[in-house]
Structure 1
Amino acid sequence: MTAWDTETIDRNAAADDLHIAPFRPDGATPGTPTWIWSVVVDDRLFVRAWNGPRSRWYRAAVEQRAGIIETVGRRIEVTMTPIDEAAAPELGTRIDPAYRTKYAGSAYLPPMVAEGPKAATVEITPALEKDRA
C-alpha cells in the first residue's frame, strides 16, 4: 500500500466530489464513474457503497481491486481494498464519526452509517508504478 501525499489527502478530506470507476474485467478499462461520499481517517481515504455489498461498483472493486478515481480536479489510478469492519472494529469506530462530521445535516447520512454500507467499505490508495504495468 502506498500513502497519499499531504495535499491530495487534505483536499479530499474537505471535498465532496469523488467519482469511482473500478476497472472492468479486462483489468484496464475503467467502468462508468460513480459519485460517492468519501472520508479521510488517519490520512487514509475510505468510501462506502450506498447499496451495500450488492452495489455494482463495489462488486467490481472487490473483484478487480483497482480502478480510477476522479477527485479534486485529478484523475488517479488507484488500488481498492475492501475493509471488513467486523474484523477491524477499531477502524469502523473511526470511519462512522468521519462520515457524521463531514456529512452532518444530510438526510442521506443515517443510511451511510448503517450495516449495509458499512459492509461495503473500501480503502482507496494510489496505485504503485509497478501495479500499472
Structure 2
Amino acid sequence: MGNWTAAELAEIDAVSEIQVAGSRRDGSLRSFRIIWHVAVDGALYARSVNGPDAAWYVGVRRQMSGAITWNGEQRAVDYVDDPTHDDAVDEAFRRKYGNGSPTQSLNRQPARGTTLRIDPK
C-alpha cells in the first residue's frame, strides 16, 4: 500500500468529484466514471451510490487496481475493501457534500457496503 502525501490528499479532497477506472487483465483501463470521495485519517475513500452492481464498481473490483484522475492529474491506484472507518467516512461525506439524498444514499446500505480505500501505487 502506498500513501498519499498530505499535499496530494488535500488537493484531491478539495475537488468535489474525481474520476475512477478499473484495470483490465491486459493492464489497459476501463472507462473513467465520476464519483464522490472523501479523505479520512490520511486515506482516500469512495463508495458506489448505486451499490455493488454499478458498472464502475464492478469494473474496479475485477482487478482491484486502476487509476483516478482529478484536476488534470492521473495516478495509478489500488482499490482495497476497507470498512474499518465507515462511521468516519459517513461523517466526512456529510461534512463535504451536505446531508441531501445523495449523501444519505451513500451512507446506508447497499452503498455503505461498497466502501473502498483508494491507495496510490
Task: Compute the TM-score of the two structures, normalised by the length of structure 1.
Answer: 0.85
Shift of 1:95: 0.6
**Range that drifts further, 40-49 or 107-116:** 107-116
Structure 1 runs of 4+ with >4 Å offset:
none
Contact 1:67 1:78 in 2 (8 A): yes
1:92 is matched with which residue? 86
2:13 is matched with which residue? 13
Shift of 1:40: 0.2
2:57 is matched with which residue? 58
1:110 is matched with which residue? 104
**Range that drifts further, 42-51 or 17-26:** 17-26
Q: Highest CA radius of gyration, 1 or 2?
A: 1
Contact 1:48 1:118 in 2 (8 A): yes
2:110 aligned counterpart, secondary structure: helix
Contact 1:19 1:36 in 2 (8 A): yes
Gaps of 5+ in 1: 128-133
2:23 is matched with which residue? 23
Q: Deviations over 1:74-113 (max 9, x none)?
A: 0101111122x3xx3xx11111000000001544211111
1:108 aligned counterpart, secondary structure: helix
Distance 1:125 1:105 in 2: 27
RMSD value, Cα: 1.3
Distance 1:115 1:123 in 2: 17
| Identical pairs, percent | 26
Q: Deviations over 1:20-61 (max 9, x none)?
A: 0111232x1111100000000011000101111111221222
Counterpart residue identity of residue 18, structure 1:
I
Size of the aligned set, in residue pairs, is 121
Task: Compute the TM-score of the two structures, normalised by the length of structure 2.
Answer: 0.92
Distance 1:17 1:109 in 2: 13
